[in-house]
Structure 1
């Protein structure tokens, strides 16, 4: 059984949400885990948004990411290069990559296209863990990450709506939905 990469993104937003096309990644968190959910390595970087460089009050309060965090960060093109360099040695061992829901995959695909970025993730299957969890637990509808953890008898560890903590908590649910 190979390793899994669990990715979570934080992005610019406003109360009530923005369309995907208007959102920009402000933090990338990735947890590389063995099939049993044990973390082997991780990646976390802030990203400086280009189109709307000032975070909304709602966004800062939701994510606990400060304006200074993003002002001091590199743009996505540079951060993504660093991410791919970090990911490179692990790619041959990856069974797939996962996120909680479709948002992270769709946001990444949009940015790769918009900025002409290459990604090894394009060659690796994506698992929508939110959907898979709902199916595994025979839930009528998909639930949020926090609810899924509670259903599984787990507590959220760390700060919610921070990319690496969200990715790590998502990874804890992986062994519960993957075939043994």
Structure 2
């Protein structure tokens, strides 16, 4: 039963926290902090710590503002009196000047919280009078007929650094092409990759992904896999008259296709960092993608704890083995189709080369 008393909560907003909230929780236990009522993730690399009294919040603020976690200084904001209600009020229905209820500007809120990144290409600039959607470039604002869902698996270790700081190597490269009108997966790509920087997989990695040492030793170097994938993608696009974003070879009869991931990690961190370290040539179409998690959060106004929670929230069930790259990619494709069926509009959420066209994949 919920307590009906109207109690004030005092909240600290912590920035630069690791993606795994457990790391922050273990760190806080080592400090002489007042007892917290609640700790939860809030946006990208942020967390909220709730205290029952102003005194406890102020004491925690003084201790935390000079702390470092994983060699990064924690950024702590002043506590917010009645913070929970303020945050909920910001995201709930609001009243306009005429006394009528209106929906909040969710894209604007998400932009402020760092949940969605809008990219402007071909010289388009931010307009002060148009809406968020109209400010995006036409390349980001189209309807997609197909998407290619990709979910890399990479080397990992127990108690490792956050994803943006570690140097992982891709060990599974899966991709599925799904027709968003029919929901049918029409083509699959799947290769295992040989790691060369740290060839031996950790026991934690094998347990998490199900990928064995024997499997990766029979795999191929990443550069070869990228080349084979490009040929596979060219064949599948040509067979359906599809074009990717920012390709110059396009006609009125062409249908559109985009790459989708769950978070920016796969292309923005994992692939980009590995290609840079090893001097590998990365196809330019990997520079634009749709982060389905960002679109999901905005469309459903729900922040899932993980991918399985995101599926369950919309009535889907994960099929296969979690953290198997090919199964993750298939479930990501299914979720994308479900979102489009529910009316969500897909748009490019990240563009690493906003002022450049891509070479034709054909």
Do they fold alike, i.e. is TM over 0.5?
yes
Instruction: Pick from 114, 132, 135 the counterpart of residue 295 of structure 2.
Output: 132
Deviation readout 1:8-55 (Å, 9 max, x if unpaired): 000000112344441000001101111133201011110010100000
1:120 deviates by 4.6
Work out whether residues 155 and 205 of structure 2, in 8 Å CA contact, stay in contact via their aligned partners in 1: yes
Structure 1 unmatched ranges of 5 or more: none
Instruction: Pick from 184, 189, 213 the counterpart of residue 67 of structure 1.
Output: 213
The aligned residue for residue 117 of structure 1 is: 281
1:111 deviates by 2.8
Aligned length: 178
Q: Distance in 2 between matches of 1:27 and 1:129?
A: 20
Work out whether residues 130 and 144 of structure 1, in 8 Å CA contact, stay in contact via their aligned partners in 2: no
1:99 deviates by 0.5
TM-score (norm 2): 0.46
Work out whether residues 130 and 143 of structure 1, in 8 Å CA contact, stay in contact via their aligned partners in 2: no
1:22-101 → structure 2 map (5 Å cutoff): 22-36=167-181, 37-91=183-237, 93=242, 94=244, 95-101=257-263
Q: Distance in 2 between matches of 1:71 and 1:7?
A: 22
The aligned residue for residue 3 of structure 1 is: 146
Work out whether residues 167 and 273 of structure 2, in 8 Å CA contact, stay in contact via their aligned partners in 1: no
Structure possessing the higher relative contact order (Cα contacts under 8 Å, 6 or more residues apart): 1
Distance 1:122 1:12, change over 3 A: closer
Work out whether residues 187 and 236 of structure 2, in 8 Å CA contact, stay in contact via their aligned partners in 1: no
Instruction: Pick from 161, 171, 180 the counterpart of residue 333 of structure 2.
Output: 171
Q: Distance in 2 between matches of 1:89 and 1:118?
A: 18
Work out whether residues 264 and 291 of structure 2, in 8 Å CA contact, stay in contact via their aligned partners in 1: yes
Q: Distance in 2 between matches of 1:105 and 1:112?
A: 10
The aligned residue for residue 311 of structure 2 is: 149
Q: Which deviates the most, 46-55 or 148-157?
A: 148-157
Q: What is the Cα-based RMSD across aligned positions, in Å?
A: 1.9
Give the structure with the higher percent helix: 1
> Over alpha carbons, which structure has the higher Rg?
2
Deviation readout 1:85-127 (Å, 9 max, x if unpaired): 111123461421100111111212223333331315246x310
